[in-house]
Chains A and B, each alone.
Chain A
Amino acid sequence: MTGERLLLVDDEPQLIRALRPALGAAGYEVTTAENGQAALSQMAREPTDVVILDLGLPDLDGKEVIRRIREWSDVPILVLSARDLESEKISALDLGADDFVNKPVGVGELLARIRAALRGRERRFASHAHLKTGELEINFASREVTLEGDDVRLTPREYDLVRTLARHAGRVVTHKQLIAAVWGPEASVDAQFVRVLVGQVRTKLEADSASPKILLTEPGIGYRLRAED
């Protein structure tokens, strides 16, 4: 995974200065941009493998940058954002961002998220018929789910939920995206239905559904299936 080109977009020069060496040391070829326009023209100039994007940019709204990138590219986009902008994060994710990281963030977690985002892209292109994360195995072709080798019996909706999360393993999936995948895009269903369904799945997958280890909650945003490296 070395040599992948990473574009870091943030208007705080000190943050770029702080992150750049570690990203470089982790094997990425780092370019930076201080605003949305510079980011878009940088992407047009050179192929980019992953984008880390701050939502609060001086010229363009970060969401607008995502929208414009998504018009022609499905490069993984990792949103770097302040914790108190839940609704901003949700709309960024719904616009096609792959995941988000709260500021401030340690480089360890940031690198893990970058890896998950890149893996997600591989998974999309390779369309693996099979996912294994920890003790959980999912066979997409036969719709079989096993935990520690034992069959887990899921209702069709529960399976749709697990499959959607597994397709994005390691990355957050918003309530809205889950509703569209499980109930259909036109369904008039709110986040409460997702919560109930997740609760059912947890009783079948988690050792202790009160402190989940596999199906994790992103408060106010959605859910994330833990991806094991």
Chain B
Amino acid sequence: MRSPQLTDVKGAWRYLAALGVVMAATLVAELLYRVLETTRLSMIFLAGVLVAAVWLGSGPAYLAAAAAFLIYNFYLVDPRFTLTFGSPEEAIVLVVFLIVAMLTGSLAGRVRDEARRAQDRARTTQALLEASRAFGASIDEEAVRERLATHLAEAAKGEAVIWDGSRAFTHPRGRNLPADLISDVEALEAAAPPDGVMTIVGGDWRARPLRAGGERLGVAAWRALSPQAPEAEAASLVDVLIDLGAGAIVRARLSEGQAEIQALARTEQLRNALLSSISHDLRTPLAAILASASSLKEFGDQFPPDVRDDLLATITEEAERLNLFVANLLDMTRLEGGALRVEAGPFSVREVIDRLTARLARRLGARRLVTKMADGGLIARGDPVLLEQALGNVLENAIRFSPDGSEILLTVHGGDRVEIEVTDAGPGVPEAELDLIFEKFFRSPQALKHSQGTGLGLSIARGLTEAMGGAVHARPRADARGLVVALRLPGEETP
């Protein structure tokens, strides 16, 4: 609530203003005296005293009452232009006037002072509320310090500096601090004085150490830009603000520490998952190789030839698988380390697919690979070696998940983009996992049942394709169970 108020007048000016009000009342009285030719104008002066009291407070009101009494007596009471009075009746009027003026001034002034104090308190409460909201909304220590500087400067009606031991947060922002202020603040921080406000830089600035829970958090310094001394209310506001800010800084530090711990835990979790995945993928083929080789060593002569051949085939296949896994791991490392060199240029997608289908023919087993290529050159921009590897990984994935006797469809569309789609008849991938399958070491629970993939193939395919400026996406197959993986590369129109 705001009390009606003219302008805010401070200090000695209030008393001058009170005299001004009385002068104005005198002028009005003079006017009325000329027009109405009456001397019964004490009410005009009382009104002036009342105005002075409401506007300027009780002190100036007393001055106004005294001045009004003297002027009224001198100017209007017969005999005029003397400070004497003619009749006892006049004397009573004058005494009553003085008493009424004093009482009016005192009462109205007190009401006004009370209202101003209430207003100050409301402002303080408001400022604290805003500051505490601002601190609460700040997530990191820096933001808390910046906001503390802002609120402190507002509370002190000047400027403020929050020193954190090495850096200063200022309000107004980016202000260059005088060297003597910095050295004084540093000295204060180093001396670790008991809590309390002290004066620094030759009395110009005030400063208080920032402390919370025994922790030293730096120094808060401020100075008022208007010359008068800070009111008691403002001083306590500054104090509370600094305590509030210190608490907020500690809280911000704690939550930062918490976030760091959580991030560490996540990294650790990821590393463990990665390690156990790698160790499983390396150990599974190794277990088969060791079992086969040691079986041959111990029982070789007892086994019929087909069993021996089978064990030897296991050793070969598992060694190849191990090699593939190690190669994948190396590719992944190269991709992540940014060591991959892309030789980008126009090349024939048709040739890449021909090479690839020849290479994969042996792995298809009882599945069929059906290739549908659009007419034309099908020239893409990129590196044919990388595409062969990326598409090879996608096809191997499709083969791994497709049941025997099923069909894997490979379609290629040309144009300003070359789009290669691999459609399998496998179990498909739930919507939520469509993007995850390109993550390193991700294997859906489905995949774990179906295959012994490395969890790297598709993420390498995506990494390679993206390195060539292309993109890879997966979507569920529209017409049946299965998955569609689409590789897109920038194309070159055939001339």
Contacts and interface: CB of A to CB of B under 8 A. Distances in A.
Contacts of B283: 82-83, 103-104
Interface residues of A, number: 23
A104 B314 CA distance: 15
A59 B292 CA distance: 26
A210 interface: no
Contacts of A17: 288, 310, 314
Contact of B288 (A18, A59, A82): A18
Interface string A5-34: 000000010110111011001100000000
B449 to A, nearest CB: 5
A138 to B, nearest CB: 32
A108 interface: yes
B294 A15 contact: no
Given A12-B284, A84-B276, A105-B287, A21 B317 contact: no
Nearest to B317: A14
A129 interface: no
B298 interface: yes
Interface string B37-81: 000000000000000000000000000000000000000000000
Interface string B257-290: 0000000000000000001100110011111111
A219 interface: no
A107 B291 contact: yes
Nearest to A23: B295
A17 B279 CA distance: 21
B285 A58 contact: no
A105 B291 contact: yes
Contacts of A149: none
B487 interface: no
B280 A56 contact: yes
Contacts of A106: 290-291, 293-294
B5 interface: no
Given A14-B317, A84-B279, A105 B290 contact: yes
Interface stretch (B114-122, B299-307, B335-343, B431-439): B299-307
Contact of B295 (A12, A14, A21, A82): A21
Contacts of A19: 291, 295
A25 B303 contact: yes
B318 interface: yes
Contacts of B452: 12
Interface in B194-223: none
B29 interface: no
A21 B310 CA distance: 10
Given A25-B302, A106-B294, A108-B298, A18 B286 contact: no
Given A56-B280, A58-B448, A82-B279, A15 B298 contact: no
Given A17-B288, A21-B310, A104-B286, 5 more contacts: A12-B452, A14-B317, A17-B310, A104-B283, A105-B287
14 contacts: A12-B288, A14-B288, A18-B289, A19-B295, A21-B299, A25-B299, A25-B302, A58-B449, A82-B279, A82-B280, A105-B290, A107-B294, A107-B298, A107-B299
In the A-B complex, the 6 residue pairs with the closest CB atoms: A22-B295, A106-B294, A104-B287, A18-B291, A25-B299, A104-B290
